Structure formats: structure tokens, C-alpha cells
Structure 1
């Protein structure tokens, strides 16, 4: 994986306060950002994952569509797992994962022994994320517009696509 050691998740998660609107910030050179977002509407769930480089260029995209209703937390966790898998398959050394789901980020920050199914799934996912992660950032929805718009487009068209 390129020789750059990923830091442990517990020491690398940063949370931003949502006091004022934010914009998407480009990562440092040699760091990529993975934006994940989910749309749940009319018993249908749609997720989007977009990987950007330090110039804002989209390196990879993944979309998923399911004809079932699930909680937003579960859907965002599935999107995050898809982003982790995609980043790992592309052998990126330093990755910043961005999601606007505060409860999911808090699950990742707190290394507790959860007794819920979601907690156990987060624990399993944490092992995956330790392989590639430099940081995990919680952002507001305005900073995740591209992934959000792709979710709505594919939800309205009932399709999956990737570019």
C-alpha cells in the first residue's frame, strides 16, 4: 500500500462543528477524499460514493440502488463500507472519508462494545477502515453536494451506474 502507514482510526477522526455553511475542501497532495451520501425515499434507498483527488478530479464513483426501506444509519454505513472497499481496491494510502451522519461517526469514534447489530457492523467496518484511513471527517450536507445529487438522479431513474 505504498509504504505510508495509516494512522489508527481512534486517533485520526476529526469532527467539525456545523456553525456556518461549509464548502468542499480539497485534500492535500497524495490524499484522496471519499464522499458518501444516501437518499431514502418511498421505500427505496440509494447511495453514492465519489472519490476525489487533491485537484478535485473524480477518480472513481459507485452508486447503489435498493428497493427496500432501511434506516438512514444503516444505509450510510453500507455506503461507507462501499467507499472503504472501493478505496482499498484502488490501493490508496491516505484517505479521508466524509459523511454527514453524526451518529455513524460517533460510533466509529467511540470504541465501545456495542450490543446492537449496528454496533457490531461498525466494529467489523472499523477493521476494514484501519487498512487505509488517514482521517474520517464529518461534514454538513452542503459539502457533499455531488454525491447527494447523484443519489437523487439514480433514485429518480431507478438505475445503477458508475463512471
Structure 2
């Protein structure tokens, strides 16, 4: 988990997060990757990437090309109301100037909010 301190349009920020997720997944030799985004326009553009002639479309095609190395890859839209845990983790990483790989050994603050979200 980490953060980038840049001002970007939302689609480009989400794209950067996707690219970083691919890098981390590849570095750890993980074979499955499922990404969720509350940016419906980016998910729609990814699903129609072959028709998008913009620079963003090009980058999305590159992400798709890289995703072919995984046994499983999925990008799906998640409503913003379902992102409470992700929002907490991102804010926690930013406040704590943190850059870490959680796996299953993560701080108790994250554990508590994940359990609360799973129960509710």
C-alpha cells in the first residue's frame, strides 16, 4: 500500500493505481489480480479500449496486454459506498506516510475496519 502525492484527473489517478497494482502483482509473482474502481468511466473505457484512440485508451490497452500474463485478471466497477475499507486504507497510508505490502499481516486498525465491513 502506498500513495502518490500528485494532482491528477480522477481517470488518470485510477489508471496510475492500476499500473502500480500490475507492477506489485508482477514483482510478487502473484498469478491472480482483481481490481475494483468506483470510476465507472474508466471501467467502461477499459472494456471498450480498442475503440479509444486517446492517450488514456493507449495506456488501458497496455494494461490489458500486461494482464494477459496472469492466470486471472478482472477489472470491475464497485459503487463508492462499497469502498469504505479501501478509502480507510488509502487515508491511513497517506497519514502514516506508509508504503507496505499487507498480505495477511496488516495493522490492527485495518483488521478492525475490514471485519466491521464484512459483518455489515
TM-score by length of 1: 0.53
Pairwise CA RMSD of aligned residues? 2.0
Match of 1:118 in 2: 56
Equivalent runs, 1:81-120 vs 2, <5 Å = 81-120=19-58
Give CA deviations for 1:8-56 in whole Å, capped at 9, x if unaligned: xxxxxxxxxxxxxxxxxxxxxxxxxxxxxxxxxxxxxxxxxxxxxxxxx
Distance 1:122 1:134 in 2: 14
- SS of residue in 2 equivalent to 1:70: coil
Gaps of 5+ in 2: 103-120
Secondary structure of the structure 2 residue equivalent to 1:160: coil
- Structure 1 match to 2:99: 161
State the Cα deviation string for residues 91-111 of structure 1 (Å, max 9, x = none). Answer: 222332211111111121114
Shift of 1:158: 7.2
Is structure 2 residue 70 aligned with structure 1 residue 136? no
Q: Is the 8 A contact 2:37 2:78 kept in 1?
A: yes
Higher helix share goes to which structure? 2
> How many residue pairs were aligned?
100
Which residue of the partner structure matches residue 8 of structure 2?
70
Q: Which runs of 4+ in 1 moved over 3 A?
A: none
